[in-house]
Amino acid sequence: MSLEHLFETESRWLTHKGKAYLSDRVVMHGKDLHKELGEMDWIHLYLYAILGRDPGESVAKLLNFYWVSTSYPDASIWPNHVTALAGTVRTTPSLALMAGMSVSEASIYGRRPEVRALDFFYRAGQWCDGGGHLEDFVDQEKQKGRILYGYGRPLAKTDERISYTLDKARELGLAGGRYLQMALDVHQHLDEKYGYSMNVAAVHAGLAADMGLTCQEYQLFLTPCFVTGMAPCYQDTRDKPEGSFFPVRCESIVYGGPAKRKWLSD
């Protein structure tokens, strides 16, 4: 970045995204928020804000189902666990939900695996476009020690969301794309060769690739996805006695360190 750029942006911000002209109008991607976009459902508007274009009613409805089908009000599931802990110590709803959302970008679940699954399918598509076989690409990824996100599921062998998501995609006419079929073909290969199951992240990512979403757009859309399931978990612990969410008594702590520690004095 040059000094000239800093000087240019010192007192103004040039953008094509939007602007609030207070007491007059609000513009988002060239459209009046209240006059032209006011009839959109919230998820549809959120997609429009991210993409800078209207993805269409069918895409918006299918992506809305991603949120609906992942709204699990179970306080034992991360990141709901964090939100419930926040409720039991009496923090505010905003802080509780933000804490839960922040840990949803984990390495083994949530945002990062889903985005890596999308990246996997785009790279697999390039491999196949170059004349390679999909099965060879999958085996190569595995041989390199890379995690095949979307395949295998912690704590469970099947994913109850898959059939509902595929039904919704068929209902909306979005189940015939190249990358969704690729996701299913990868599962068949992994199941036959390694006994891997498939989780909904592979189906979601395959459909997202068929929609043409970039990895960044996909991550932005998914970031608040768990929040609906978090809200009742926060309320549940907030309405119960303080500190009563899975308390641990001292004798229940399993400790494998030295029997006695030497503490340094000041």
* C-alpha dihedral sign at 231, 232, 238, 239: positive
Which pLDDT does position 258 carry in this prediction?
A: 83
State mean pLDDT over 19-43. Answer: 96
Which pLDDT does position 17 carry in this prediction?
A: 95
Strands (E), the chain: 18-21, 25-28, 31-32
In tens, the pLDDT along 104-136 reads: 887 777 788 889 999 999 999 999 999 999 999
pLDDT band at 91 (very low <50, low <70, confident <90, very high): very high
Alpha carbons 45 and 38: distance in angstroms, whole number: 9
Whether the pLDDT of residue 30 is over 80: the answer is yes
In tens, the pLDDT along 65-81 reads: 999 999 999 999 889 99
Alpha carbons 63 and 201: distance in angstroms, whole number: 13
State mean pLDDT over 20-28. Answer: 96
Instruction: Classify 41 as helix, strand or coil.
Output: coil
Alpha carbons 1 and 111: distance in angstroms, whole number: 30
State mean pLDDT over 223-247. Answer: 95
Alpha carbons 234 and 208: distance in angstroms, whole number: 30
Whether the pLDDT of residue 224 is over 70: the answer is yes
With beta carbons less than 8 A apart as the criterion, state whether 55 and 211 touch: yes
In tens, the pLDDT along 150-164 reads: 998 766 678 999 999
Long-range contacts of 89-98 (CB under 8 A, 24+ apart): 89/242, 89/243, 90/238, 90/242, 93/231, 93/234, 96/230, 96/234, 97/227, 97/230, 97/231, 97/234
Starting at the earlier edge strand, list the strands of the sheet with 25-28.
18-21, 25-28, 31-32
Asked which of 204-208, 213-217, 248-252 is least confident by mean pLDDT, the reply is 248-252
Which pLDDT does position 157 carry in this prediction?
A: 77
Whether the pLDDT of residue 35 is over 90: the answer is yes
Whether the pLDDT of residue 103 is over 80: the answer is yes
Alpha carbons 166 and 200: distance in angstroms, whole number: 10
Domains of the chain: 1-39 (no CATH), 111-221 (1.10.230.10)
